[in-house]
Structure 1
Amino acid sequence: MRSRLTVMALLALCLALALAACTKKPRSTADIPRSLSPSYSIAVAPFTQPITTSQLIMGQLPKDQGRIAPEMLPALDMALRDVLLTGTKRQYTFIPRHAQLPDKMRYHDSNQPQALPAWVAFAKTLKTDLLLVPQVLNWHQREGSRAGVTRPAHVRVEFFLINIQQGTVQERSVYDVEQSGLTSNLLEIGDFLKRKGGWATADELAREGMLKAVKDLML
């Protein structure tokens, strides 16, 4: 009983600190939210999962990479579409999944990422200023239920905003999260409350990554 009261007291303290942090004013112009110019046209590619280094735009593949079932990718496409249309005030061109995407092309064996030029060349056929490329780098679904798990969900999703004229990655957003129990990490109380005190699915974590990308990419 005493240990339970101690945990509850710690939760209350962390919640108070979290709420206090949320009320702080920006300390500098760097803290003020920025946004991308509305004059840019943006196309959005479907989700893909690189499984060889040469298919990467940048970075590296995670060790023991968890693969997402291909039939689950359309659900991520729809979730991203919803996040973009409800969370921003922009218009987007959404590329259909049946398009001949660069991730389906064959690359030479390489230990270096090679996909950026292929994505740029693909985007030039769309006559768009920017191309948003969402990718699943790691995917481990929750094993268990919302109340308890034998293995928590773990996802790594990355979002690349490619400037077509310059042929470069203008912005990149990375979300790599494996949910942990509150008692093992009290610093995650904000996420704990946001998830209503339960264990999230990989899909739910991926959506959190999409929301983060909207801010990181200044959409």
Structure 2
Amino acid sequence: MKRLFLYILAAVGTLMILGGCQTKSDLVKLPRPVGKLAVAGFTNPMFNYELLAGYLAHEGHPVDKKVINELDQKLVHTLSKHGVTGFARPAITKQCQEIEVFENMGSQREAAYSYWINVGKCMSADYLLVPQVLFWQPHRGMKKPNYNVQPASVVIDLYLIDVNNKRIVRRIHFDETQTPLTENMLDAGKFFKRGGKWVSAMELADEALESGLMELGL
């Protein structure tokens, strides 16, 4: 009986993976931005006033700087892999991020918006890509899915800002906490795609950047 269940589970997983392959090309994509693109380094908002949209589930929880640096590297690598070239990298944009300050614009959200527009202007960019990591929980425990572990959990936002027209072209919101297959059969496709094991928070971030940048046309 147990073996039959495993066969059924494998069949369901195969079908869902195939379905995922069919829908991957159907991702809504923006046309690739025409003009100078600047890419900001990842920031880790700890308070809601630092966000361009949405709200933090928990304020005041910092992410390790080593993680931020690795995310910056992965962002540049993924853009290059997608054929995006000639953009101002986070190490350069960081100079403008350090120069600009939040201004008193009447509301906290307006201050955050004004800040990033000014960063884009400082870079003389037509478009500014703003990545933010809102939550980061590393995986702890065994890799096998039948052990009690702390699963990886990641929340990442990607914003593409049209600097000249002062508008957010699109926001990509990635919020993923890996769950055991027994708790959510709807995620069977993801479970098998990840090799039937627990993955790291950085692996979830890879998924966020791969799919998110594609949806932005980058």
**TM-score (normalizing by structure 1):** 0.84
Question: Which residue, 32, 36, 41 being the options, matches 1:41?
Answer: 36
Which shows bigger deviation, 135-144 or 62-71? 62-71
- Deviations 1:123-179, CA, capped at 9 Å, x for gaps: 101111100010001111111132245210111000000110111111111100000
Distance 2:99 2:200 in 1: 26
Which shows bigger deviation, 178-187 or 91-100? 91-100
Which shows bigger deviation, 176-185 or 58-67? 58-67
The DSSP-based 3-state class of the residue aligned with 1:158 is strand
Distance 1:72 1:90 in 2: 24
Q: Verify the 8 A CA contact 2:141 2:149 in the aligned structure 1.
A: yes
Distance 1:21 1:71 in 2: 32
Give the equivalent residue in structure 2 for 1:154: 153
Q: RMSD of aligned C-alpha atoms?
A: 2.8
Structure 2: unaligned runs, 5 residues or longer:
none
Deviation at 1:66, TM superposition (A): 4.6
Give the equivalent residue in structure 2 for 1:117: 114
Which shows bigger deviation, 142-151 or 199-208? 142-151
Higher helix share: 2
Question: 1:1-219 residue pairs with structure 2 within 5 A?
Answer: 2-20=1-19, 22-23=21-22, 31=26, 34-37=29-32, 39-63=34-58, 66-96=61-91, 99-101=95-97, 105=101, 112-113=108-109, 114-147=111-144, 148-219=147-218
- Deviations 1:4-62, CA, capped at 9 Å, x for gaps: 43143133134224425644799xxxx58644245222110110111112111121112
Instruction: Percent identity, please.
Output: 29
- Deviations 1:65-119, CA, capped at 9 Å, x for gaps: 65311232111100111111002344321031752526984666x9842311111
Letter in structure 2 aligned against 1:140 = Q
The DSSP-based 3-state class of the residue aligned with 1:200 is coil
The DSSP-based 3-state class of the residue aligned with 1:150 is coil
Which shows bigger deviation, 56-65 or 41-50? 56-65
**TM-score (normalizing by structure 2):** 0.85
Structure 1: unaligned runs, 5 residues or longer:
none
The DSSP-based 3-state class of the residue aligned with 2:188 is helix
Q: Verify the 8 A CA contact 2:132 2:157 in the aligned structure 1.
A: yes
